[in-house]
Chains A and B, each alone.
Chain A
């Protein structure tokens, strides 16, 4: 079983976020980066499937600047076999179609049986790359997966639906599946793993060497911190008028009615 795992490096939850000068991304100084949470679960699931089936390969692929190699290395120290890095610099790709195209054109020749990715990234939260990539590579696709059961030519998955419902479905391989956080218990890199990872290969490809299809479907225009405004409005008048006004405010402004 040959498994690809898409991992993204995102600012860790406790990092102080400030906007950069251009207003299109955050300033990266004083920010620590971590593997996107659901991607870490996807990687763990891939490692478990490999261990369960007894052979195969787990390849970690990541798109981003030089720093993402640390994330790839972390995956390698947990037991992935090699890494692929599509190296880009600012401005980062923020269009999921474009991201999926870059991965598709880089990973096509790998002929993965399975591609696992996190459900969505903790920074942009678009949640589309895994399923787009699956379509581009003519794979079966499933999202929001909470459990997997692998066999020779199929994978059975449990999907999380709305309202506490679940769905079990069986997909033909090859398949691209996006994984929900909590599906397993991710391991910690052992010392042996860290040492072993030093010798594992990370293939680096410059972004402009990959055919991106030329079409940007979506552009990030502005990143901003939501304005918080404190406002006090005194409502005066007769009780009936006050109540009517209050109901109006609840309906229109606060939208709780």
Chain B
């Protein structure tokens, strides 16, 4: 095919126009990203590259989260990659300088043709899902998505037709049609969710390794006023990474599907509240100071469970409740009354309950430097937020005794700060942290049954200072005691028994194996809940919501319902808050005539089966 000078000129003008529009829009967004706080992380490059290959090239999360739509998306994506060379060659041909020789072109078409069919299948399925099945999670019908689906379909058709050696004139028209579609697509991409084509790979590469990854709010009340003002002003800003997230969002709604508050009938919709609601304000203002745009009520509903972030196929750290709440507490002073009481307790007594006395702590041995572990109780155990859990702590103590592990509690243990931290009271969190860090200054190893304490003692404190002690969850200590044959446990049929992963262990600490090793030893017949491991569903108590007054939502019942419906006779967990939630929640949900599911901490199960 040959092209006249006029055709070449027109082509060049259109290409320049399309590319200009594309880059203008992309650069406009990148400039806003650059105005965000913090820096884009570039540490651990090899790990980041491997992750990017897995998640982009192999679509691990895209397919892992939703198999069929994910696979169909994969077909389109892999097709696009194969088409890269074809597209370049297509335009080069227009200027009379094809990249591929006739022979090469034909050879390559043997690969490309099947892919073009696969792309049609993929986009056909996705369009069918979006426009006919209309899953609730995708939200309103999107016009752009329809146009893009038609574009992709026509791109494939024009390609296939072009390969069938049509008559010259028709071939020319077909060629132009294909070229114009590609260029129109280029214009459309940055102005729509299809920008994820460009940003998602970088976003996945740059995703923080820790989830959540909220920056620490460091408060120095002695600092000059301007410094404090600047710090407070900074609280309204998104970080660079978060800004890139907003532009990368593909609007698939997986975060909303995963959200326990949403599933419980709350108003929180992470896709909108944490992502899309920020996009237009970012573009309108050109500034990243948009955090005050988020729906506050939605922010208070979040359990900070991180399911949204784990569900995201384009590498977004979705959850923003930390940002919303700290703005409400530190800047606005607008705090629900029940939390004001909680904060006052923390400030006055160092614990969540305003308690002065813990009978359990008095019974347990005190830590002395010759002992291996500090047994960190946490307020839940210490002040008996669920009195049944006291027995679980004593069971863990028995296990440690049986394994010959020395341990003791800290008399001056204060709340780790988890509720203050997650509810935005960063000043109280810092006060509690400073006290606890002093108590732990000579300690090498800490073990706790509270994943909330564990996350704060390790990762959250670590944002302020170097942590020189190791923190181990009791499920980890128990697993290693069994591995090392330091405790003798018997294995027996436990009936229908299952395990509920606490969010903080599974998603934030990345520990799902240790409790399962123990369970496999004790109860070889244990079964998994449908949502388990890092896909676990929050019990409803996270993010400080244990202290929330009961509202209209059913966030706290969704998981309990799943457990009742699973047919389990016993549910084992590794978090005192989950334990407390299920103890309250399972019984009222149990159908008449059925026995209530027994709730056990892993320590209970192990202690019952100590040989």
CB interface residues, B 317-337, toward A, < 8 Å:
329-335, 337
0/1 interface trace, chain A 181-215, chain B, CB 8 Å (1 if under): 00001111111111100000000000000000000
Q: Are B348 and A32 in contact (CB under 8 A)?
A: yes
Is A34 among interface residues, defined by CB-CB distance under 8 A? yes
CB interface residues, A 29-79, toward B, < 8 Å:
30, 32, 34, 78
Given contacts A195-B221, A195-B225, A14 and B333 within 8 Å (CB-CB): no
Is B345 among interface residues, defined by CB-CB distance under 8 A? yes
Q: Are A188 and B345 in contact (CB under 8 A)?
A: no
Binding site for A on B (CB under 8 A): 219, 221, 225, 228-229, 232, 329-335, 337, 340, 343-345, 348-349, 353-357, 427
Q: Are B348 and A193 in contact (CB under 8 A)?
A: no
Q: Are A14 and B354 in contact (CB under 8 A)?
A: yes
Cα–Cα, bound, A195→B330 (Å): 11
Q: Can you pick out 12 interface pairs between chain A and chain B where the beta carbons lie within 8 Å of each other?
A: A12-B354, A14-B356, A30-B356, A186-B337, A188-B329, A188-B333, A190-B330, A192-B228, A192-B229, A195-B221, A195-B225, A195-B228
Q: Which B residues lie within 8 Å of A13 (CB)? A: 354
Q: Which B residues lie within 8 Å of A192 (CB)? A: 228-229, 232, 331
Q: Which A residues lie within 8 Å of B427 (CB)? A: 191, 194
Cα–Cα, bound, A16→B353 (Å): 13
Is A15 among interface residues, defined by CB-CB distance under 8 A? yes
Name the distance in Å between A58's Cβ and chain B's nearest Cβ.
15
Cα–Cα, bound, A34→B340 (Å): 12
Q: Are A32 and B225 in contact (CB under 8 A)?
A: no
SS class, residues of chain A in contact with chain B: loop
Given contact pairs A187-B335, A191-B219, a sample of 7 additional A-B residue pairs in the complex whose CB atoms are under 8 Å apart: A16-B357, A188-B343, A190-B329, A191-B228, A191-B330, A194-B427, A195-B225
Cα–Cα, bound, A195→B329 (Å): 14
Q: Are A32 and B349 in contact (CB under 8 A)?
A: yes
Tell me which of A12, A186, A190 contacts B331 (CB under 8 A).
A190
Q: Are A190 and B332 in contact (CB under 8 A)?
A: yes
Name the distance in Å between A27's Cβ and chain B's nearest Cβ.
13
How many A residues, CB 8 Å from partner?
Answer: 20
Given contacts A32-B354, A34-B344, A194-B221, A188 and B349 within 8 Å (CB-CB): no
Cα–Cα, bound, A186→B340 (Å): 9
Name the distance in Å between A37's Cβ and chain B's nearest Cβ.
10
Cα–Cα, bound, A12→B356 (Å): 12
Q: Which A residues lie within 8 Å of B228 (CB)? A: 191-192, 195
Q: Which B residues lie within 8 Å of A78 (CB)? A: 333
Binding site for B on A (CB under 8 A): 12-16, 30, 32, 34, 78, 185-195
Name the distance in Å between A132's Cβ and chain B's nearest Cβ.
30
Name the distance in Å between A12's Cβ and chain B's nearest Cβ.
6
Q: Are A14 and B353 in contact (CB under 8 A)?
A: yes
Cα–Cα, bound, A30→B349 (Å): 9
Name the distance in Å between A36's Cβ and chain B's nearest Cβ.
13
Q: Which A residues lie within 8 Å of B353 (CB)? A: 14
Given contacts A188-B335, A189-B333, A12 and B221 within 8 Å (CB-CB): no
Name the distance in Å between A118's Cβ and chain B's nearest Cβ.
16
Q: Are A190 and B356 in contact (CB under 8 A)?
A: no
Q: Are A16 and B356 in contact (CB under 8 A)?
A: yes
Cα–Cα, bound, A189→B425 (Å): 11
Q: Which B residues lie within 8 Å of A14 (CB)? A: 345, 349, 353-356
Q: Which A residues lie within 8 Å of B333 (CB)? A: 78, 187-190, 193
Q: Which B residues lie within 8 Å of A12 (CB)? A: 344, 348, 354
Cα–Cα, bound, A188→B325 (Å): 13
9 residue pairs, one from A and one from B, having the closest CB atoms: A190-B333, A14-B354, A188-B335, A32-B348, A191-B330, A188-B333, A187-B333, A16-B356, A188-B340
Q: Which A residues lie within 8 Å of B340 (CB)? A: 186, 188
Q: Which residue of B lies closest to A182 (CB)?
A: B337
Name the distance in Å between B410's Cβ and chain A's nearest Cβ.
19
Q: Which B residues lie within 8 Å of A185 (CB)? A: 337
Q: Which A residues lie within 8 Å of B329 (CB)? A: 188, 190
Most buried by B among A13, A193, A194: A194
Cα–Cα, bound, A34→B330 (Å): 21
Q: Which A residues lie within 8 Å of B344 (CB)? A: 12, 34
Cα–Cα, bound, A186→B343 (Å): 14
Cα–Cα, bound, A187→B340 (Å): 9
Name the distance in Å between A191's Cβ and chain B's nearest Cβ.
4
Q: Which A residues lie within 8 Å of B335 (CB)? A: 187-188
Cα–Cα, bound, A15→B221 (Å): 29
Q: Which residue of A lies closest to B344 (CB)?
A: A34
Cα–Cα, bound, A191→B335 (Å): 13
Q: Are A187 and B334 in contact (CB under 8 A)?
A: yes
Given contacts A12-B344, A12-B348, A191 and B232 within 8 Å (CB-CB): yes
Cα–Cα, bound, A189→B427 (Å): 11
Q: Which residue of A lies closest to B223 (CB)?
A: A195
Name the distance in Å between B221's Cβ and chain A's nearest Cβ.
7
Cα–Cα, bound, A189→B349 (Å): 18
Q: Which residue of B lies closest to A195 (CB)?
A: B228
Q: Which A residues lie within 8 Å of B330 (CB)? A: 190-191
Cα–Cα, bound, A32→B347 (Å): 10
Name the distance in Å between B142's Cβ and chain A's nearest Cβ.
40
Q: Which B residues lie within 8 Å of A190 (CB)? A: 329-333
Q: Which B residues lie within 8 Å of A191 (CB)? A: 219, 228, 232, 330-331, 427
Name the distance in Å between B350's Cβ and chain A's nearest Cβ.
11
Q: Which A residues lie within 8 Å of B355 (CB)? A: 14
Cα–Cα, bound, A14→B349 (Å): 10
Q: Which residue of B lies closest to A188 (CB)?
A: B335
Q: Which residue of B lies closest to A31 (CB)?
A: B356
Name the distance in Å between B340's Cβ and chain A's nearest Cβ.
5
Name the distance in Å between B197's Cβ and chain A's nearest Cβ.
42
Q: Which residue of B lies closest to A14 (CB)?
A: B354
Cα–Cα, bound, A193→B330 (Å): 9
Cα–Cα, bound, A229→B221 (Å): 52
Q: Which A residues lie within 8 Å of B332 (CB)? A: 190
Cα–Cα, bound, A188→B346 (Å): 14
Q: Which B residues lie within 8 Å of A32 (CB)? A: 348-349, 354
Cα–Cα, bound, A206→B329 (Å): 36
Cα–Cα, bound, A185→B337 (Å): 7
Cα–Cα, bound, A13→B355 (Å): 10
Q: Which residue of A lies closest to B235 (CB)?
A: A191
Q: Which B residues lie within 8 Å of A15 (CB)? A: 354, 356
Q: Which residue of A lies closest to B355 (CB)?
A: A14
